Amino acid sequence: MATITPDKVLDTSGLNCPLPVLKTKKALEELQPGQILEVISTDPGSKADIPAFCQRTGHELVEMVEEGGKYIYYIRKKG
């Protein structure tokens, strides 16, 4: 598996729905099209919320990793 190098990292650990999605949306606004955002979450609800957000907004969910109670998402900004 290739290592993904994010352009920005957003740690939403300890935050619950809807904050991880809202902070992800705000962080993506600061990136250029094609750049990658890494989102770290501890909210189990993010497993449904983040992919749904990406599908709804057109951003690409490149990869999702679950390790040690954390959910890590790599999202490529559309454009």
**Catalytic center residues:** 17
The whole-angstrom separation of Cα 39 and Cα 68 is 15
The upper half-sphere exposure of residue 34, i.e. CA atoms within 13 Å in the direction of its Cβ, equals: 0
Query: Is the link from the previous residue into 44 a cis peptide, with omega within 30 of 0?
Result: no
Cβ pair 27, 37 in contact under 8 A: yes
